[in-house]
Structure 1
């Protein structure tokens, strides 16, 4: 079933409240997906690129990791640990070498980007939000997902969001019927999914289209032609987030917009507690239509 939330802030003075508002939205969707949850937060950009990694044994895996990586790169590395995740900031030109170093150590890369940080784990959404301190996080926008596993195991890697390109990530409610065929097509193009989750197939598809020269809107529109099944996709980027539903639009979705924000939820109750919601323009996204908001 799954639940999706998204929040795009139009005003800078709301940035410190992003995590708090997004946490309430995520937790409200718990009964749509109680087995795991994840969020992508787009915050401040610093010098270099952020790489979010995860480990089942963070105490040992993250001990001295920044020093060892800095020595390998011959460049400064900063690290921020958060429960089972850590965010490393490295020079942009060192991304490839950093990825190889981290994977050799058995660390799972959740996402890469100048602004994006991804946190996801198994467990109830309330517990996941608490573990990562979501309420204290600030930023310009974010998306989240509560999962009810249907097509693959309940694991950290099976949780959403999925990121297959810098500062891009995808969450999904629904099911794809041709994801195995698409896996073979994408592998031939060099975009092979790493998990059994069909959502990662969609994320890889969008990245492959962009690599071929499509813009983000064209790539999202392409899902309507090439991906079979029923779906609502919400995609985060460095500058905003986009929404697209399949032509039948059988999965629930609702949006709200005020002068302060744009919000997405699988159900209205996801954002019923947001400030100013009583005066918001509320609507159901049209089928087979791409919506996008960016700064």
Structure 2
């Protein structure tokens, strides 16, 4: 049993409140997942820049790490440290070189996600503590997703917390269990998709990345997943400009959505949505099984 939430803003006037709204939704889901939590926020991005979401041990000196990445042509990379995580923004053409540098010289630093706009944070502990540690309530953006975990099939670790990201600006949170994730993991590894944990949810994220690499849209990748992913699941997925939801064919896990002229919101339970502005005027509905829901903002 886990809790998942998502918020996609249609109204730019609410972008400054995204983090506070998402934090409230996330914390309400504490009793569905008290052992760890995480979230992804899609905020502003620089032209021809890429953000690396990094994770290391408590007290790690991310500023010194950024200084080691500096080159005269580009100057010192932008770095924002938050607890055990940091967002480092670098020129897009340098991403491969920086990844190689970190893998060779700084194996103690994990890359949690990359993208032009996506920032990912996750940690062991109560959702309220995780949200406070990373300052979720202060963050702004266009959309975000979150997860509270109750581990049932793997250890309680930061690496096992959601969201999982295996592609640029793409991440996933999952409530449920996949029965064929080991076979899929082997297939994805042969296809060059990097899977770092034993968590079946990372396999689901990798599957979507693989499909999207082949040219499928997020909606088409989710549609294909109905045939290839065996088990029970509810997914909430984020991309650079989009937000998607999919439930398995029998809709085993609880889910509710609300839509207004200002936003689309998802929660494992309705109580996660009750503090959203204008919820009393929202169209509230249970997403249908085996049906792809997808919203996207103009680029």
TM-score range, shorter chain: over 0.9
1:179 and 2:178 correspond = no
Shift of 1:213: 2.2
Alignment map for 1:122-133 (pairs within 5 Å):
122-133=124-135
Which of 223, 226, 239 pairs up with 2:225?
223
Of 51-60 and 146-155, the range deviating more from structure 2: 51-60
Q: Do 2:43 and 2:140's aligned partners in 1 also have CA atoms closer than 8 Å?
A: yes
Shift of 1:223: 1.1
Alignment map for 1:43-54 (pairs within 5 Å):
43-47=43-47, 48-54=49-55
Of 158-167 and 204-213, the range deviating more from structure 2: 204-213
**Aligned equivalents of 2:63 and 2:270: distance in 1?**
43
Q: Report the secondary structure of 1:75's partner residue.
A: coil
Of 225-234 and 188-197, the range deviating more from structure 2: 188-197
- RMSD, matched Cα: 1.1
In structure 2, the gaps of 5 or more residues are none
1:25 and 2:25 correspond = yes
Q: Which runs of 4+ in 1 moved over 6 A?
A: none
> Which TM-score applies when normalising by structure 2?
0.96
Alignment map for 1:54-69 (pairs within 5 Å):
54-60=55-61, 62-69=62-69
Equivalent position of 2:166 in the other structure: 164
Q: Do 1:27 and 1:125's aligned partners in 2 also have CA atoms closer than 8 Å?
A: yes
Alignment map for 1:98-247 (pairs within 5 Å):
98-104=98-104, 105-106=106-107, 107-247=109-249
Shift of 1:57: 3.8
Once the two structures are superposed, what CA deviation does each residue of 1:125-168 show, in whole Å capped at 9, x if it has no partner? 00000000111111111000000011111111100000111110
1:83 and 2:83 correspond = yes
**Aligned equivalents of 1:251 and 1:180: distance in 2?**
22
Q: Report the secondary structure of 1:6's partner residue.
A: strand
Of 186-195 and 257-266, the range deviating more from structure 2: 186-195
Equivalent position of 1:266 in the other structure: 268
Shift of 1:193: 1.1
Shift of 1:97: 0.7
**Aligned equivalents of 1:183 and 1:22: distance in 2?**
31
Once the two structures are superposed, what CA deviation does each residue of 1:198-235 show, in whole Å capped at 9, x if it has no partner? 00000111111111222211111111101100000110
Once the two structures are superposed, what CA deviation does each residue of 1:110-137 show, in whole Å capped at 9, x if it has no partner? 1101111000000000000000011111
Shift of 1:74: 5.0
In structure 1, the gaps of 5 or more residues are none
